[in-house]
Chains A and B, each alone.
Chain A
Amino acid sequence: MSELTLLATRHSDRKRDALASLFRVSPNGFIPWLLPLSLLVLWQAAASYGALPPSILPAPFNVAKAAWRLLLSGELLTNAAISFKRAFSGLIVGGSLAFLLGLSNGLSRISERSTDTTIQMVRNIPNLALIPLVILWFGIGEEAKLFLVSFGVFFPIYINTFHGIRTVDPQLVEMARSYGFKGFELFRRVILPGALPSILVGLRYALGIMWLTLIVAETIAAQSGLGYMAMSAREFMQTDIVVLAILIYALLGKAADGSVRIIERLSLAWHPAYRKGVRS
C-alpha cells in the first residue's frame, strides 16, 4: 500500500516541479533581458546628449519620474485597476459564453448546425469597427467596454474550443467507450483533456485581443483607465506619461502571456512540449 502512495506522490511531485521550474532563475535567465536593457541604455544616452528632443521621446529617467509621480498621487494604480477590472470582466463574460458555445457545438451536431454559420459570419467583423455603434448604444459607459472586450475575446476561444473538441482522437474515444465511459465521465476523462491544449491556445489569443480592444476603447470612449490616462496626457503634451502608458501595455501583455504559460505548464504537464527542460 505504501508503494501505491509513493506512486501517487511521485505523480504530484511532478506538478510541483513544473511549478518550481517556472520561478527558478537559470544561469542563462538574463539572456532574454539583454536586448531590452541595452536598448534602454542607448535610449537614455541619446536623450542625455540631446539627440532626442523630449517632445518626441522623453528620457527613460523622466518616464521613471513620471511613473513615480503618478504612483504617489494614486492616479496610476487607480487607472490600472479600472482597466484590469474592465479587461477581466470582458474576458469572463465573453470567454465563458464562447467556451460554453464551443463545447456545445463541438459535442452536438444539432447545436453546430443551428449556430456555427452565424458565428462564422459575425466573426469577420473587426470588433473595433463596432465602436461607433457601441457608443450610440451605450454612450461611453462601462457597458460599451464590456461589450467590445467580450465580443473580441469570444471568437478565439470559441473557435479553438470547438476545434479542440472536434479533433480529439476518435480512437481514444472508441477505446473509452469500450470500457464503459459515456456522458459526463467520457467528457471529463477523455474529451476535455484532449481539447485542452487547443482551448489554451485560444485563451492566449484572447488575452492579446482583450488588451488591444480595451486600450483602443479607452482612448476613444472612456473617462478613466490606462488608455484614457495616455489620451489626456497627449492633450497636455506630457510625452513622459504617454510613453509610460505604452510601456505598461507591454508589461501587461507579457504578464498575461506569462500567466497562460503557467496554466499550460501545470495543466499540460503530460504534454512533451510543455515538459520541464524542453522549453526553458
Chain B
Amino acid sequence: MSAFALKQSETIRGASVALRHVTRSFGTKPVLEGIELDVKPGEFIAIVGQSGSGKSTLLRIIAGLDNGFQGSLSIDSAKGQKTAARIMYQEPRLLPWASVIENVAFGLGPQSTRHQAFAQARAALDAVGLGDRGGEWPDVLSGGQKQRVALARALVSKPDLLVLDEPLGALDALTRIGMQSLLERVWLEQGFTAILVTHDVTEALTLADRVVLIENGRIALDLAIPFDRPRRRGAVQFGELEEHLLTALLKSKSKTEEYVI
C-alpha cells in the first residue's frame, strides 16, 4: 500500500487543485495550451519538462501570482473553502534585515500579532531542525539551511497547498538528498498537497505520487509512481521508470529545439 493511500485513511488537510483548459501566452507566443490537471487532496505531484517548457509559468498560475491566463483554476481546501497556495522558490528569498525567526514569522502575513507569531515560527523552525538558529541573521546560514528557513516560512501558516519551483536546484548533491527526505517527512506529517517542479528525474521518483511531463505547452505524460514509502534513492525498482521518464524528456527536447547547422 502506498503512503498516499495510507494518508487517505487519516485526516487529510490538503487542498484539491483543478485546472481546466488553462492557456497562457506571452505576446503571440503560447506557453501553455489547454492544460488539464487534477490534484487530489494530500497528493504529491512532480512536474518535469525541458527548460522553457512552461513549468514555472504553470506554477505561478497555481500560486496565484499570475492572473493573465485563460481557463479556470480552482483550489479547494478539505473543508471545501477556497484557500491560498504557498510558494517556495529556487532562491530562499529571505529578508536579510530580519533574523531567522522573524523571517519565518513573516510567513504568517502582516496581520499576525508578534508574540503568537514567534511561538508558531519557533515550532516551524523546530520542524526543519533549525530551532536553535532563530536569533541569527540569514546570511550566516549555509545554502541548505537558508532553504530550510524558507521551507519553515512557507509551512508556518499551515498551508493546504505548497508549490515548489526547483527549491533544491541550487544545492549540492548531498544537501539535496537531506532536503528531499526532510520535505517528504514534513509532507507526511502535515498532509498538505504538494506540487514540485524539478529537473531531476530521480528526485521526482523519490518524492512524488505522480509525475507529470510538460511538453509544448501540454501535458505529454502523467505517470503514477506506485512505490512504497519511504523510498530509497536509486532503488532497483526505479530503473525502468527512470529510463522511461528520461527517454520521454529527451524526446521532448528533439521536438522543441531543432538545430540548423
Chain A residues proximal to chain B, CB less than 8 Å: 1, 3-4, 7-8, 10-11, 171-172, 174-181, 185, 189-190, 193-194, 196, 268, 270-272
When chains A and B are docked, how far (Å) is the Cα of A176 from the Cα of B135? 21
Chain B interface, DSSP helix/strand/loop, else mixed:
loop
When chains A and B are docked, how far (Å) is the Cα of A25 from the Cα of B108? 43
User: With an 8 A cutoff between CB atoms, is B106 at the interface?
Assistant: yes
Contact in complex: B93, A172 (CB < 8 Å):
yes
Contact in complex: A178, B87 (CB < 8 Å):
yes
A179 contacts across to B, CB distance below 8 A = 106-110
B96 contacts across to A, CB distance below 8 A = 270-271
Contact in complex: A4, B118 (CB < 8 Å):
yes
A1 contacts across to B, CB distance below 8 A = 119
Shortest CB distance B84–A (Å): 8
Shortest CB distance A119–B (Å): 28
Contact in complex: A193, B97 (CB < 8 Å):
yes
When chains A and B are docked, how far (Å) is the Cα of A194 from the Cα of B99? 14
A272 contacts across to B, CB distance below 8 A = 139
When chains A and B are docked, how far (Å) is the Cα of A179 from the Cα of B108? 7
Q: 25 A-B Cβ contacts within 8 A?
A: A4-B118, A7-B99, A7-B101, A7-B134, A7-B135, A8-B118, A10-B135, A11-B99, A171-B91, A172-B93, A175-B89, A176-B106, A177-B65, A178-B64, A179-B108, A179-B109, A181-B109, A185-B110, A189-B95, A196-B97, A268-B97, A270-B97, A270-B137, A271-B96, A271-B97
When chains A and B are docked, how far (Å) is the Cα of A249 from the Cα of B139? 39
Shortest CB distance A53–B (Å): 57
Interface size on B, residues (CB 8 A): 27
Query: Given that A3-B122, A189-B95 are contacting pairs, would A174 and B109 also be in contact in the complex, using a CB cutoff of 8 Å?
Result: no
Least CB separation from B110: chain A residue: A185
When chains A and B are docked, how far (Å) is the Cα of A172 from the Cα of B99? 15
When chains A and B are docked, how far (Å) is the Cα of A252 from the Cα of B73? 63
When chains A and B are docked, how far (Å) is the Cα of A7 from the Cα of B119? 11
Contact in complex: B106, A189 (CB < 8 Å):
yes
Query: Which residues B48-100 have CB closer than 8 A to chain A?
Result: 63-65, 86-87, 89, 91, 93, 95-99
Least CB separation from A184: chain B residue: B110
A175 contacts across to B, CB distance below 8 A = 89, 93
Shortest CB distance A226–B (Å): 38
Most buried by B among A3, A11, A196: A11
Query: Given that A4-B119, A171-B89, A171-B93 are contacting pairs, would A178 and B99 also be in contact in the complex, using a CB cutoff of 8 Å?
Result: no
- Please name 13 further chain A to chain B contacts, defined as beta carbons within 8 Å, in addition to the given A178-B64, A180-B110, A270-B98, sorted by A numbering: A4-B119, A4-B122, A8-B135, A10-B135, A171-B89, A174-B65, A175-B89, A175-B93, A179-B106, A185-B110, A189-B106, A190-B95, A272-B139
A181 contacts across to B, CB distance below 8 A = 109-110
Query: Which residues B102-161 have CB closer than 8 A to chain A?
Result: 106-111, 118-119, 122, 134-135, 137, 139
Most buried by B among A7, A10, A171, A272: A7
Contact in complex: A193, B95 (CB < 8 Å):
yes
B101 contacts across to A, CB distance below 8 A = 7
When chains A and B are docked, how far (Å) is the Cα of A172 from the Cα of B119? 24
B111 contacts across to A, CB distance below 8 A = 180
B109 contacts across to A, CB distance below 8 A = 179-181
Query: Given that A7-B134, A8-B118, A11-B135 are contacting pairs, would A172 and B95 also be in contact in the complex, using a CB cutoff of 8 Å?
Result: yes
When chains A and B are docked, how far (Å) is the Cα of A8 from the Cα of B64? 34
When chains A and B are docked, how far (Å) is the Cα of A196 from the Cα of B107? 23
B87 contacts across to A, CB distance below 8 A = 178
Shortest CB distance B139–A (Å): 6
